[in-house]
Structure 1
Amino acid sequence: MSLQLLAADVVNVIAALPDPDPVAPPGFEAVGTILGWAKWVGLIAAILALIAVAVMFMFNSRRGEGGEHVKTFVAILVGVMVIGAATALVGFISGS
């Protein structure tokens, strides 16, 4: 058997494999609820962190040190984006 025929057989076998949609097992509805709560808590924590950074900006700008917290502000914004896009990111990575 030639290498080309073997490669063609492998491709045909891979193409014939089923690709089912992901389905949660029975009884896992609570997991969705817990994930929803975790996302909600994460977004509330991010809002509180943004308020805290705004207060630090306010106090430190009076002393001329306002720009030092920009890195913290950007890190919080990146965290908010990751929390908000977590479902889409996992779906993209897993290919579903």
Structure 2
Amino acid sequence: MSLSQLGHDVVYYALALPDPEPVAPPGFEAVSTILGWAKWVGLIAAVLALIFVAVLFMFNSRRGEGGEHIKTFVSILIGVMIIGAATALVGFISGA
């Protein structure tokens, strides 16, 4: 075995940290319930916002100003996607 390989093995095994599975602490069920409610409320608010923007499109299209709210519409759609994918995004970022 070469000296560089021996040095690599020593560093590798000295820095090898355990990677345990994530486990929720006792009593965490209440937090999960609150997060579920927050996601539900966020999606309801997003649906209401989409309906509001659709009504604005309808009224402003008669005046020729319908295209001004497209930025708002797209930002609401992005928000809906983030709310819907929040759990998967956090899992991806944290590496879980």
TM-score w.r.t. the length of structure 2 is 0.90
Q: Distance in 2 between matches of 1:58 and 1:73?
A: 13
Structure 2 matches for 1:1-96, cutoff 5 A?
A: 5-15=6-16, 17-96=17-96
Deviation (angstroms), 1:3: 6.4
Give per-residue Cα distances to partners, 1:28-77, cap 9 Å, x unaligned. 11000000000000000000000000000000000000000000000000
Q: Distance in 2 between matches of 1:35 and 1:29?
A: 10
Deviation (angstroms), 1:80: 0.3
Residue segments in structure 2 that go unaligned for 5+ positions in a row: none
Q: Distance in 2 between matches of 1:84 and 1:46?
A: 11
Residue segments in structure 1 that go unaligned for 5+ positions in a row: none
Q: Distance in 2 between matches of 1:20 and 1:66?
A: 54
Number of equivalences? 94
TM-score w.r.t. the length of structure 1 is 0.90
Deviation above 3 Å: which 4+ runs of structure 1?
Answer: 2-7
Q: Secondary structure at the match of 1:45?
A: helix
Q: Distance in 2 between matches of 1:13 and 1:36?
A: 41
Q: Distance in 2 between matches of 1:23 and 1:36?
A: 18
Deviation (angstroms), 1:4: 5.7
Q: Matched residues, percent identical?
A: 79
